[in-house]
Protein backbone atom coordinates (compact mmCIF):
# COMPACT_ATOMS: atom_id res chain seq x y z
CA UNK A 1 0.00 0.00 0.00
CA UNK A 2 2.90 2.39 0.74
CA UNK A 3 4.36 1.92 -2.73
CA UNK A 4 1.02 2.82 -4.28
CA UNK A 5 0.90 6.13 -2.34
CA UNK A 6 4.47 7.05 -3.28
CA UNK A 7 3.56 6.66 -6.95
CA UNK A 8 0.72 9.13 -6.48
CA UNK A 9 2.87 11.74 -4.73
CA UNK A 10 4.20 14.59 -6.94
CA UNK A 11 6.54 17.52 -6.20
CA UNK A 12 6.60 20.89 -7.91
CA UNK A 13 10.16 21.66 -9.03
CA UNK A 14 9.36 25.41 -8.97
CA UNK A 15 7.89 26.00 -5.50
CA UNK A 16 8.63 22.66 -3.76
CA UNK A 17 5.02 21.81 -2.92
CA UNK A 18 4.19 18.11 -2.70
CA UNK A 19 0.71 16.71 -3.33
CA UNK A 20 -1.11 13.56 -4.26
CA UNK A 21 -2.14 13.46 -7.87
CA UNK A 22 -5.66 12.81 -9.00
CA UNK A 23 -4.91 12.53 -12.74
CA UNK A 24 -1.99 10.95 -14.62
CA UNK A 25 -0.21 14.19 -15.49
CA UNK A 26 -1.55 17.42 -13.91
CA UNK A 27 -1.43 20.59 -16.00
CA UNK A 28 -0.67 22.98 -13.13
CA UNK A 29 0.90 22.98 -9.69
CA UNK A 30 -1.93 23.35 -7.15
CA UNK A 31 0.09 25.87 -5.11
CA UNK A 32 1.93 28.18 -7.54
CA UNK A 33 -0.21 27.31 -10.59
CA UNK A 34 2.88 26.91 -12.78
CA UNK A 35 2.42 24.81 -15.91
CA UNK A 36 6.14 23.97 -15.68
CA UNK A 37 5.90 22.26 -12.30
CA UNK A 38 7.70 19.16 -13.62
CA UNK A 39 10.61 21.05 -15.22
CA UNK A 40 13.54 22.32 -13.12
CA UNK A 41 13.99 26.06 -12.94
CA UNK A 42 17.11 27.15 -14.83
CA UNK A 43 18.68 30.55 -14.31
CA UNK A 44 19.32 32.30 -17.59
CA UNK A 45 22.90 33.28 -18.30
CA UNK A 46 23.36 36.93 -19.23
CA UNK A 47 23.91 37.46 -22.94
CA UNK A 48 26.53 40.11 -22.29
CA UNK A 49 29.66 40.37 -20.21
CA UNK A 50 29.07 41.37 -16.63
CA UNK A 51 32.52 42.89 -16.27
CA UNK A 52 33.77 45.62 -18.53
CA UNK A 53 37.01 44.85 -20.28
CA UNK A 54 39.55 47.62 -20.18
CA UNK A 55 41.15 48.52 -23.48
CA UNK A 56 44.72 47.47 -24.04
CA UNK A 57 47.47 50.12 -24.16
CA UNK A 58 47.56 49.83 -27.96
CA UNK A 59 43.79 50.34 -28.16
CA UNK A 60 44.00 53.37 -25.84
CA UNK A 61 46.68 54.88 -28.08
CA UNK A 62 44.56 54.25 -31.18
CA UNK A 63 41.55 55.85 -29.46
CA UNK A 64 43.65 58.88 -28.51
CA UNK A 65 44.93 59.31 -32.08
CA UNK A 66 41.40 58.93 -33.48
CA UNK A 67 40.08 61.56 -31.04
CA UNK A 68 42.87 63.95 -31.98
CA UNK A 69 42.30 63.53 -35.71
CA UNK A 70 38.55 64.01 -35.23
CA UNK A 71 39.26 67.15 -33.18
CA UNK A 72 41.53 68.61 -35.86
CA UNK A 73 39.01 67.82 -38.61
CA UNK A 74 36.15 69.42 -36.70
CA UNK A 75 38.24 72.47 -35.77
CA UNK A 76 38.90 73.04 -39.48
CA UNK A 77 35.14 73.11 -40.17
CA UNK A 78 34.24 75.76 -37.57
CA UNK A 79 32.66 79.00 -38.73
CA UNK A 80 33.92 82.30 -37.36
CA UNK A 81 31.15 82.52 -34.73
CA UNK A 82 31.73 78.93 -33.67
CA UNK A 83 35.50 79.48 -33.51
CA UNK A 84 35.06 82.56 -31.28
CA UNK A 85 32.84 80.66 -28.87
CA UNK A 86 35.22 77.66 -28.96
CA UNK A 87 38.22 79.82 -28.09
CA UNK A 88 36.33 81.35 -25.16
CA UNK A 89 35.50 77.89 -23.86
CA UNK A 90 39.12 76.76 -24.24
CA UNK A 91 40.30 79.79 -22.26
CA UNK A 92 37.84 78.92 -19.48
CA UNK A 93 39.19 75.35 -19.35
CA UNK A 94 42.81 76.42 -19.02
CA UNK A 95 46.00 75.06 -20.53
CA UNK A 96 45.71 71.54 -19.06
CA UNK A 97 42.70 70.48 -21.12
CA UNK A 98 42.86 67.11 -22.83
CA UNK A 99 41.44 66.04 -26.18
CA UNK A 100 38.16 64.81 -24.67
CA UNK A 101 37.57 68.17 -22.96
CA UNK A 102 38.39 70.01 -26.18
CA UNK A 103 35.95 67.82 -28.14
CA UNK A 104 33.23 68.58 -25.59
CA UNK A 105 33.99 72.31 -25.84
CA UNK A 106 33.85 72.10 -29.62
CA UNK A 107 30.44 70.39 -29.46
CA UNK A 108 29.17 73.07 -27.06
CA UNK A 109 30.45 75.86 -29.31
CA UNK A 110 28.75 74.35 -32.35
CA UNK A 111 25.49 73.83 -30.45
CA UNK A 112 25.57 77.37 -29.08
CA UNK A 113 26.21 78.84 -32.54
CA UNK A 114 23.35 76.77 -33.99
CA UNK A 115 21.06 78.00 -31.20
CA UNK A 116 22.04 81.63 -31.86
CA UNK A 117 21.46 81.19 -35.59
CA UNK A 118 18.06 79.66 -34.97
CA UNK A 119 16.98 82.45 -32.62
CA UNK A 120 18.23 85.08 -35.09
CA UNK A 121 16.23 83.49 -37.90
CA UNK A 122 13.16 83.35 -35.69
CA UNK A 123 13.56 87.04 -34.87
CA UNK A 124 13.96 87.96 -38.56
CA UNK A 125 11.00 85.88 -39.72
CA UNK A 126 8.21 88.38 -38.81
CA UNK A 127 10.18 91.26 -40.35
CA UNK A 128 10.74 89.36 -43.62
CA UNK A 129 7.08 88.38 -43.68
CA UNK A 130 6.08 92.02 -43.24
CA UNK A 131 8.39 93.08 -46.11
CA UNK A 132 6.92 90.42 -48.39
CA UNK A 133 3.39 91.59 -47.66
CA UNK A 134 3.94 95.35 -47.87
CA UNK A 135 6.93 95.49 -50.19
List the beta bridge partners of residue 9.
20
Q: What is the pTM of this model?
A: 0.47
Range among 49-58, 102-111, 121-130 with highest mean pLDDT value: 102-111
Range 3-21 average pLDDT: 82
Of the candidates 108, 124, 113, which has an alpha carbon nearest to the alpha carbon of residue 81? 113
Total residues found in the chain within this entry: 135
Given a contact cutoff of 8 angstroms between Cβ atoms, the answer to whether 12 and 40 are in contact is no
pLDDT at 2 over 60: no
Cα separation, 115 vs 85, whole angstroms: 12
Cα separation, 125 vs 29, whole angstroms: 70
Q: What are the tens digits of pLDDT across the range 59-91?
A: 889 988 998 898 888 888 888 888 888 888 888
Amino acid sequence: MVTELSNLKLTCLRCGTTWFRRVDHPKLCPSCHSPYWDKPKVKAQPAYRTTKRLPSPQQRELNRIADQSRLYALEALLTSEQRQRYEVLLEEMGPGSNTTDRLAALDRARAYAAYEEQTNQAAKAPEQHRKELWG
